[in-house]
Amino acid sequence: MTETNFTYRRFEDSDRTTTDRDITKKWGEEPISIGESYACPTYVHKTPPCQGSCPSGHDIRGWLSIVRGIDTPPEGLTMQEYAFQRMVMSNPFPAVMGRVCPAPCEGGCNRNQLEDFVGINSIEQYIGDWAIEHNFSLPAPGPDTGKKVAVVGSGPAGLAAAYFLRLLGHGVTLFEEYDKLGGMMVYGIPGYRTPRDVLNAEIQRILDMGVEVKASTRVGRDISMDQLTKDYDAIFWGIGTPDGRGVPVKGAENAPNCTDAMSFLRAFNNGKLQYLAGRILVIGAGDSAMDVVAVAKRIGQLDNVKAEDLPENVILGKTEHDPALAAQRKPSDSWIIYRRPISEAPCTPHELKAVIEEGVEIHDSLSPLEVMLDENGRARALKVAPVEMVDGQMVAQEDKAYEIECSMIVAATGQTGDYTGLEELNNGRNLIDSDATYQVVAKPGQFAAGDAIRPHLLTTAIGQASVAVEGIHDYLNSKEISKRPKVDKHHFKIAEELARHNLSPEKYEQKAGTHGTFEAKFAIHNYDDRSSAEVISHEDLYLGHFEYNPINHRDEVELNATQVLSNFEERFKVLSDEKAQKEADRCMSCGMCFECDNCVIFCPQDAIFRVSKDEHAIGRYVATDYAKCVGCHICQDVCPTGYINMGLGAY
């Protein structure tokens, strides 16, 4: 017989589905014959792209299902507390992250294929604020192991490591160079973005788990590395990159009014920097650059500032500004200087939009060439040249160079670590080298995470700390450190879900055989957990199921250039209960059943049925009578979440 190709059309609404689900297979490979096949439904759990994009590995789909009411809380728990418990399995800072995380999860959200992402950050803030208001606690520490771990640095990596270590029962001593805990969350991010009462509440919950704190103590100065290795069974390094890189331009080396973003923000967050003295130029367009110019617009500037009160003297620690002079401030003249088109800026888009609305001037496609000095050695101007693309390369047109007058230049072009006294950790780039499990290279029992190994997001530091702590746990138990899965996240586990409902499989006892025992009670049947290996794509969903449902935005304080001066009001307002639940309901539950009944309704053989209420749990809502199933594939085609795959055959 001549080999022939044929096509069958899967059930879809082609007007609303954005994916092509026509499948062409060669005759003999296609399992369907006259509407029947040997492939029957199996239930396949995959990682949703929101979680796949989240560096801390949040079970986002899981806590959204709680907020929307699919996963109901146990008796005695509110929805908010149940969702909080699910959140802090991977991230102990929901109120902070809900405010400041740039939300790569939302960029990965499959809902973007319809109209807009799910507002994950806003719901996280809602639950985080509710937890603080109602004084929720973190889970109790595990049984005491008798092991002691030194955690160096109290930024997001160090605090997260302390939290995960206490969950496992290990003793933790936290060493912090400064007098306040929080690292970049307190010294790098302005207080109007991370309100200090919110941050302090989330830090205190971790300390309440029994974490010993040694503040104002620098390892390498006040206590040696050798002493640390003698006193503790393992060490976690979360020392970050607290120093900014200086202005990378000729002439800036010794100019006192050329500084870096970290020094500028630290002086502001310490309450010492109260005003500027003229135009400020910020080189760079990342989130730190946006924070600097946003702060500059809020603190404004004064005319006729005394030499001893110039802003650089505050940043250098020589003096402090008198807050009483704040009443005399006027709007500051704040500019962003960026080598590339501003459309390519690495900052969070809404931060860029906000500073533009607040009156910050954007001067893009400009290359800084030289800092021009006055007779006192201070920067008086920045020489720049337009940048043009020539054969795919950015080339400064130096023949068109000109000067921009200024009173201060701030570089927001990267961060670096301080390894004074810790030289043996320095890889030559002021960072720490680690392996895939975040164990420090050539130093067994020492682990590192966060900016110390690769400057990135706060949530990245938290996720890395979680992985590192698992490695520390293996090390302390004299085990080989576990290899990491391909999709390395805090996954939903159906065994834990069944245990919560007293539905755990019975103990397996050796029997004559297991063939044909699909009703036996010692196994979870026809459930395939691929979450550690696969992230589900929108192409695997039936998008035609979902109606247009616009995003429920948080209310945002929008300031113009005349309103921003001295305004330190928090930008994002928390969602109401109703809006939080409505927004959570937009989640498409990618890769997990959300109990829509499509498969039950459309099965022509009545082979798919709802399980009884006393057997119901997340992921176990429907089952299949395989004596009735003819393998028509309709259930897979109409499954909105991609949870049903045709298996039990060679498909």
Give the orientation angle of helix 156-167 with respect to helix 196-207, to 10 degrees.
30
Cβ contacts of 144 within 8 Å, gap of 6 or more: 169, 171
**Residue with more model confidence, 16 or 146:** 146
**Residue with more model confidence, 32 or 333:** 333
Domain-wise residue ranges, the chain: 148-242+417-476, 245-416
Give the orientation angle of helix 196-207 with respect to helix 120-133, to 10 degrees.
70
- CA pair distance 97, 202, nearest whole angstrom: 11
Question: With bands split at pLDDT 50, 70 and 90, how would you rate the model's confidence at 513?
Answer: low
Q: What are phi and psi of 344, to 5 degrees?
A: -100, 10
Whether the per-residue pLDDT at 519 is higher than 80: the answer is no
- CA pair distance 298, 403, nearest whole angstrom: 26
Summarize pLDDT for 605-648 with one digit per residue, the tens: 999 999 999 999 999 999 999 889 999 999 999 999 999 999 86
The topology (CATH level 3) of 245-416 is FAD/NAD(P)-binding domain (3.50.50)
Cβ–Cβ contacts within 10 Å for residue 236, how many? Answer: 32
Q: What percent of the chain has pLDDT over 90?
A: 85
pLDDT at 207: 98
What is the mean pLDDT of the segment spanning 537-553?
96
To which H or E segment does residue 529 belong?
Answer: strand 527-529
- CA pair distance 566, 570, nearest whole angstrom: 12
Percent helix / strand / coil, the chain, rounded to 5: 30, 20, 50
Question: In terms of Cα–Cα distance, which of 364, 334, 331, 372 is closest to 347?
Answer: 364
- CA pair distance 178, 182, nearest whole angstrom: 9
Q: Residue 202 is encoded by which pair of tokens?
A: 């989330």
- Architecture of domain 148-242+417-476 in this structure: 3-Layer(bba) Sandwich (3.50)
**Does the fold of domain 245-416 match that of domain 148-242+417-476?**
yes
pLDDT at 515: 59
To which H or E segment does residue 350 belong?
Answer: helix 349-357
Summarize pLDDT for 577-602 with one digit per residue, the tens: 999 999 999 999 999 999 999 999 99
Cβ contacts of 54 within 8 Å, gap of 6 or more: 60, 104, 105, 459, 463, 489
Whether the per-residue pLDDT at 21 is higher than 60: the answer is no
Q: Where are the beta strands (DSSP E) in 103-226?
A: 148-152, 171-175, 212-214
Question: In terms of Cα–Cα distance, which of 262, 281, 283, 282 is closest to 273?
Answer: 262
Whether the per-residue pLDDT at 419 is higher than 90: the answer is yes
Instruction: Using alpha carbons, list the distances in angstroms from residue 244 to 156, 217, 411, 443.
Output: 18, 21, 8, 27
Are 403 and 379 in contact by the 8 Å Cβ rule? The answer is: no
**Residue with more model confidence, 28 or 179:** 179
Cβ contacts of 286 within 8 Å, gap of 6 or more: 345, 346, 347, 412
- CA pair distance 448, 541, nearest whole angstrom: 39
Mean pLDDT of the chain: 92
Summarize pLDDT for 231-243 with one digit per residue, the tens: 999 999 999 999 9
Cβ–Cβ contacts within 10 Å for residue 606, how many? Answer: 10
Cβ contacts of 204 within 8 Å, gap of 6 or more: none
Are 591 and 642 in contact by the 8 Å Cβ rule? The answer is: yes
pLDDT at 19: 41
318: alpha, beta or left, given left = phi > 0 and alpha = psi -120 to 50?
alpha
What is the mean pLDDT of the segment spanning 400-420?
96
Q: Which amino acid is at 62?
A: G
Question: With bands split at pLDDT 50, 70 and 90, how would you rate the model's confidence at 500?
Answer: confident
Question: With bands split at pLDDT 50, 70 and 90, how would you rate the model's confidence at 6?
Answer: very low
Whether the per-residue pLDDT at 512 is higher than 90: the answer is no
Summarize pLDDT for 353-368 with one digit per residue, the tens: 999 999 999 999 999 9
pLDDT at 164: 98
pLDDT at 391: 85
Instruction: Using alpha carbons, list the distances in angstroms from residue 246 to 251, 384, 412.
Output: 11, 17, 8
